[in-house]
Chains A and B, each alone.
Chain A
Amino acid sequence: MADTSDPGDPPPPGGTAVETATETEARRRWMAALARAPRAHLESAWRDLLDPAPPVTPLRPAEIGTAMVQARAGGTGARFHLGEMTVTRCSVTVPARDGTPLVGHAYVAGRDRRHADLAARFDALMQDPARRDALESALIAPLLEDQAAARRGTRQRAAASRVDFFTLMRGD
C-alpha cells in the first residue's frame, strides 16, 4: 500500500516521516485485525487482558451506515459503483497509562455496534506504548494468525478442486 505521507512534508512533531509511515502501517495492520475479529473474542480480551479496564469516553457513538463499494471495469479499468455494504463506525477516547488521552477509531463491516465500540477501544489502547507489546502478543498477533489460517484453509479447499484437464489426442 502506498505511503500516504508526502516526502516533501516537514516531519510531524514527535518523529520523522519514516517513523510516521511505519506507525501508520502498524495501525493499519491492527485495525484490519480488529475489524475481522469475532466480537466475543474482543469482549473476552477487554474483560481479561486489561487490569483494570480503563475508562472509556465515547467520542462518536457507534453508528450504522453504508460504504459504497467501488470496483473497476474489467478489474483494472475505470471505476464504477458496485453497490453498498453495511458498515459501523465508532470513535472513543481512552487514557494511556500515563493519562494522555488516546483517540481510537473503528470502521467495521456489518451492523455490530458493540464490535465497532470494542475495536475503537483497542485501537486507542494499541497507541499506548505502555500497553502495545502486551496487546500485540495477546490479541493482535493471534487474531492475524487465525485470519491468515482461515484464508489459507479456503485456498487449500479450493486447490483440492483444481482440475488437470487433458485433451484427447486424435489419431490421424
Chain B
Amino acid sequence: MYVAVKGGEAAIDAAHRDLAALRRGDAAVPALTVAQIREQMGLAVARVMAEGSLYDPDLAALAIKQAWGDVPEAIFLLRAYRTTLPRLATTAPIDTTRMVVRRRVSATFKDLPGGQVLGPTFDYTHRLLDFALAAEGETEPEAPPAADQPLDETLPRVADILGDEGLIEPEQPPADDGAGPVGDLTRDPVTYPADRDIRLQALARGDEGFLLSLAYSTQRGHGGNHPFAGEIRMGEVEVEIVPEELGFPVSIGDITVSECQMINQFKGSKAVPPQFTRGYGLTLGYNERKVMAMALVDRALRHRELDEEATAPAQDDEFVLSHADVVEASGFVQHLKLPHYVDFQAELDLVRRLRRAADSDETAGEPPQEDT
C-alpha cells in the first residue's frame, strides 16, 4: 500500500539552494562558463554526448556545469532534454573512411598505408602531475606543428588489408540495405536475443565503466577472444540527410567520432574456414577507452552468429544490454533512497511476527541453547 506523503516543500527548496551554492563554490573564484567547459573539458563533454546519445557540445557542457561535474547526472540531463525535441530526420550512414583524421593507430600493422598518426593522446605521457598548469598566469601551449604534406583525404581501413586476402570475415551491407528497418531502442523496447544493430546502439550509449569492466573480463578469460586493436581512429565525419522536400542528400555539418576495429582469432566452424573476426566500437565524440571496450564486448556478444559457446557474462546479451545504461542503472540503484516507509513498516511487522513465532516454538520445544 502506498500512502502519499505531503509536505517538505520548504526543506526541498532549501536543499536545492544549498546545492546551487555548493555547485557554485567559493564566490571569490570566478564562475566557469559553458564555453570554458566545452573547450577545456572536452573529454567529459564527449562522454556526456556519447552516453547522453545526443551530439551537441554546448548542451553537454551546460549539463556538466549544472550537474556540478557529475558525469552520469549530466548524461541524465541531456537525455531528458533530448525527449523534448522532435526527430526531424535520420541521417545517411556516416563514412568513417572519409573522416578528417586527427588520430589513427594500428597495433597489427606497423607500416599501414597512410601511417600511424598519434594525434592528441595521453599515450606516451609520463602521468606526472604538471604543476605548471596550476601556476597563476599559465602560459599558452605552443601551437602544434603542422606537416607540409597533409594526411590523405581517405585512409584505408586496416581490416580491408586483411580482407583483400580473405583472411577476415567480410563486413557487407545486407541485400535489403536501406530498405529494411534498422532497430531503434529509443522507439521500441529491446527483445532478446537482440540483433547486432540494437546491440551496437545500446553499447554506443552504454556506461563506459560497465563496458570497460566487461571488456576487461573477456581479456581475463571470461568469454575471451584474443583481440588485437586492428585500428583506432578519431576525427570529424560529414553528416548528410535527405530532406523529404528536396529528395537529395544535404550535408548538415560534421561531428567528431571515435572508432575501433578489433581483430580476433577464430578457429572456424563447420561452415566457415579459420579466419579473423571483428568487433566494432563507435561513439559520438572522442572516447577512445570506450570504443575499445565496446569493440571487445561487441565481439563477445557475437557468439551466436559465430557458433561459439557462451559461458561468460560479457557474452550474455540480456545481461549486458539490460545493465549497460547508466541512466537506468543509476535510477534504479538510487531510487532506494526514496521513501519506502510503508513497505518497510510491512517488512518490520513481518519480521516481528516471525520472531514471535520462532520464540514460541523454542519455548514449546527444546530449551534454547546458550550462545557461545
Q: How far, in whole Å, are A72 and B182 apart by their CA atoms in the complex?
A: 11
B220 at the A interface (CB under 8 A): no
B157 at the A interface (CB under 8 A): yes
Q: How far, in whole Å, are A24 and B151 apart by their CA atoms in the complex?
A: 30
Stretch at the interface among A43-51, A61-69, A127-135: A61-69
Chain B min CB distance to A118 (Å): 15
Chain A min CB distance to B152 (Å): 8
Instruction: Tell me the number of A-to-B contacts counted with CB atoms below 8 Å.
Output: 248
B44 at the A interface (CB under 8 A): no
Chain B: CB-nearest residue to A29? B251
A170 at the B interface (CB under 8 A): no
Q: How far, in whole Å, are A98 and B93 apart by their CA atoms in the complex?
A: 40
The residues of B that contact A74 with a CB separation of less than 8 Å are: 159, 171, 261, 278, 280
Given A69-B284, A76-B172, A162-B117, A24:B85 Cβ within 8 A: no
Partner of A158, one of B102, B185, B239: B102
The residues of B that contact A79 with a CB separation of less than 8 Å are: 93, 173, 177-178, 182, 197
The residues of B that contact A167 with a CB separation of less than 8 Å are: 110
Chain A: CB-nearest residue to B54? A84
Partner of A66, one of B85, B92, B173, B259: B85
Given A28-B250, A83-B50, A84-B55, A161:B118 Cβ within 8 A: yes
The residues of B that contact A108 with a CB separation of less than 8 Å are: 252-253
Interface residues of A in 67-89 (CB under 8 A from B): 67-87, 89
B96 at the A interface (CB under 8 A): yes
Partner of B174, one of A31, A71, A78: A78
The reply to whether A31 and B250 contact each other, CB–CB distance below 8 Å, is yes
11 more A-B residue pairs beyond the given contacts A91-B245, A161-B117, with a C-beta to C-beta distance below 8 A? A65-B88, A81-B184, A83-B53, A84-B53, A85-B55, A154-B235, A156-B146, A156-B149, A158-B101, A162-B151, A167-B110
Binding site for A on B (CB under 8 A): 49-50, 53-56, 58-59, 82, 85-94, 96-97, 100-104, 110-111, 115-119, 144-151, 153, 157, 159, 171-174, 177-178, 182-186, 196-198, 200-201, 204-205, 235-236, 239, 241, 243, 245-255, 257, 259, 261, 278, 280, 282-284
Nearest 5 CB-CB pairings of A with B: A109-B253, A74-B171, A155-B150, A159-B147, A85-B55
Sample of 29 A–B contacts (CB below 8 Å): A36-B253, A36-B254, A66-B88, A68-B184, A70-B90, A70-B93, A70-B182, A73-B171, A76-B172, A78-B196, A81-B182, A82-B204, A86-B59, A87-B252, A89-B243, A105-B245, A107-B252, A109-B239, A110-B58, A111-B56, A151-B100, A154-B102, A156-B150, A158-B150, A159-B151, A161-B103, A161-B117, A162-B117, A162-B147
